Structures are given as C-alpha cells and as structure tokens.
Amino acid sequence: MLDIKRLRNQPDELRQAIGRRGVEVPLDEFNELDRQRRQVLVEVEEKKAIRNRVSGEIAAAKRAGEDAAGMISDMKKVGEEIKALEIVLRDIEGRLEDIVMELPNPPLPDVPTGRDESANITLRTFGEPTMFAFEPKAHWDIGADLGIIDQERGTKVAESRFTLLRAEGARLERSLINFFLDLHTREHGYTELFPPILVNSDSMRGTGQLSKFAGEEMYKLRDDDLYLNPTAEVPITNLYRDETLPEEQLPIRVTAYLPSFRREAGAAGRDTRGLIRQHQFNKVELVKFVRPETSTQELESLTLDAEEVLKRLELPFRTVTLCTGDLGFASAKTYDLEVWLPSYDDYKEISSCSNFLDFQARRLNIRYRSGGGKPRFIHTLNGSGLAVGRTFAAVLENYQNEDGSVTVPQVLREFMGVDRIG
C-alpha cells in the first residue's frame, strides 16, 4: 500500500513512476476527496472537542450539585451532529482508500520501462541450453515411463492438475526440498521455519492476495475463515504483522518449505501437461525483513542465494530483470530466474525475487525502532528458492539419457542414495 502522504507531497513524481507501469494515478479525484476528508475531519474534531469540554463541565456541575440539564440537551444535539458527520467521513475515507489501494508500487528507477515480458532484460546467464544427441522427451513422458510420475492417479484422488509421485519420484521431490533448505540454512544464513499451511483472511489481505482483483485464485475453506496457503510469502511475511521490531533484530532472513495451492482459475489450457502448473506444488521460500537502507543490496544477495541452487544443480538458467509492465503489483523491482526446459525449448520461470520496499510493510504494519526514535516501516523482500515442482521437471529433462533413465545431479546423490533413476 502506497504512502498517502507521498501522494499529497510528491504527486507528480508518483504519477510519473506509476505511469511507467501503464497505470494512471487519478490525482484530481484523489485531491478532491483528500480535501473533503480534511474539511469534514476538522469539523468533526471541533465538535468532539466541544463535547469533551462540556462533558467535563457537566461532571463538575453535577459534583457541585448544580443543574446541568441545559448542557446535556445541547450535547445531545452535538452528538447527533457528530454521528451524521462521521457517516460522511467514513464514506469519503472509503473512496479514498479505494483509490490508494488500487495503486501499485512505483517501480525503482533502474527498472526498465516496458509493456510486457518482451521488454524484460536478461541480466546474466549460466550454462548453455542442454544439447542432446537424441530426441529428448518432456518430463511428463520421462516420469510416466519411469513410473515416478502418476498423473492419472493424482487426478483420480483429487482432480486434474494434481499429481502422484512414486518411489524415486517422491524421493526426488523430498531430496530437492532438503537440498534447498540445507543450502539456505547452512550456507546462506537463513532461519528455517515451518508455518501453518492454512492462513486467515487478515493474512491474505496483508500481503495483498485478497484484493478486489485477486481472490478467485485461492482455495477457501467453507466453514472457517481460512484459505489454503497460495504461496509461502503469505504465512511468512505475516509473521510480524502489527509488530515493531527492535533494530538489532534486523535483518531477519527466513526460509521455509511449504506446500502451496492455487486454483489456476484463469489458466485453462496453459501448461496443461506435466508439473509446471499444478493446483498443489511445493516451494521453498526466502523472505527478508530489513532496514530500508539495505533493501537494494539485500535483493541482490537474495537473488544470488536462489541462483546458487541452480548452479549447484548445474541447470542452465538466466536471470532477467522484469520490466515495469511485467512487475507484480506490490513489487518495486523483481528478478526472475528462468531455468532451461528442453520440452518448452525455452527458459521457464522457476523463481521470482522481489523487493517490496515498504509497500507490504505499510499495509502489514511492520515497523522497527531505531535508537530511541520513532518507529519506521521496514522493507520486505521475498523470492522462491526454488519452486520444487519446476525444478523436478528441469532435472528430469536436462539430465535425461537416451535409454530413458535420468542421471541424478551430483549434489542430490547424498539425498537420493542413488546416482541414477531407471
């Protein structure tokens, strides 16, 4: 959520920055509502001040045994006026909030301007697209032939876009999770968490998953105010909602493995085969809570932490800077990691690392106190480290052999116990 004061004090700067995303700031409407709000607010507060003062006088009069009937009836009238004005005020504030909540985070200056993903900029690449001396198979065929991915039975038990993993498949999934978590906790300094997989609507709203526009994407429980976790960002970033953290605690860097669930309501026909787009998928998430001054460099290190996973797996990938048109609503800057996927003959997103600045923290009310000063909003960042299902697919496809077997990447062998599947 945008700082309403910035909208007042630096409207042109914001209009320009947000305009780079192709979003127009309704400044005239905002200014008019903001003016009205202040006008009504002043009026209400003046009346309240009168009521408070006279109520004190009534108390004094009664104590002195004097008659206060006149003052009481006057205040009764003032009270009614206050009530009426407050209704007006609430309406104005509601409309003001609608405007502010619909405004996305202004992109950082070094984010390239562009309409869609074609304007993203490749920052660096690792390895080369895998070459095969034979006709490579897609991971869904590799997995089915090896008996480690069972799409039919996943669908039988749940519905389409659910998958059953079997034997080395199940083991590979677990190995990836363990490898990711071990790397981030032992070498990158993250603290491991295991949060609830169901989250309430306050948490969903806090990270913006339940805005006016989003909401059909989540699985909601019928009898409780709870949702299946759509991304580990939700339970983790909400950890410190409504808290003021001591400065010494920052930065806080946490990682968590968490199953994630999405209805993929708008994705009919997209990525229908294989593990790329599932209703249920595993993810290891990286989240940071940092001092504002450090968030720029924390995004760089967060991205490198995610990249390291792919490097150790020796999977070809590239890192791209998202342009303004491809940037998520709450993000001020995002790097996507894209892994080479032979079946797509292209790079496919496997991690998204974002700096939200204080945009999330403001809505979540997460602050820190530095020295004896006033609390300030912290900055939050997150990134996948990595999406497990997509990594699974990338391993199968990039490590497949002509005989249909799959070589286990070196770093996974201690977890898998074998150096080859099939």
> Which amino acids are annotated catalytic?
262, 277, 349, 352, 390
* Residue 87 binds RNA, judged by CB under 7 A: no
* Residue 372 binds RNA, judged by CB under 7 A: yes
Token pair 């993993």 is at which residue? 165
Give min distance, CB of 8 to RNA, in A: 8
State which amino acid sits at residue 68: A
Binding residues with RNA: total (CB under 7 A): 27
User: Cα–Cα distances in Å, from 340 out to 180, 315, 354, 377, 399?
Assistant: 19, 7, 21, 38, 12
Residue 405 token pair? 């077997």
b/e per residue 309-324 (b: at least 16 CB within 10 A): bbebbebbbbbbbbbb
User: What single-letter DSSP state applies at residue 220?
Assistant: B
Rg (CA), the chain: 27
* Residue 221 binds RNA, judged by CB under 7 A: no
d(CA 342, CA 102): 39
Give min distance, CB of 81 to RNA, in A: 11
d(CA 145, CA 301): 39
* Residue 41 binds RNA, judged by CB under 7 A: yes
* Residue 40 binds RNA, judged by CB under 7 A: no
Give min distance, CB of 302 to RNA, in A: 27
Give min distance, CB of 35 to RNA, in A: 9
Whichever of 42 and 267 has its CB closer to RNA, that residue is 42
Would you call 288 exposed, middle or buried from its count of C-beta atoms within 10 A (0-12, 13-18, 19+)? buried
* Residue 45 binds RNA, judged by CB under 7 A: yes
d(CA 392, CA 171): 11
* Residue 6 binds RNA, judged by CB under 7 A: no
Whichever of 31 and 52 has its CB closer to RNA, that residue is 52
Give min distance, CB of 368 to RNA, in A: 11
Whichever of 206 and 409 has its CB closer to RNA, that residue is 206
* Residue 76 binds RNA, judged by CB under 7 A: yes
Chain contacts with RNA (rule: CB under 7 A): 5, 38, 41-42, 44-46, 48-49, 51-56, 58-59, 62, 72, 75-76, 78-79, 244, 372, 374-375
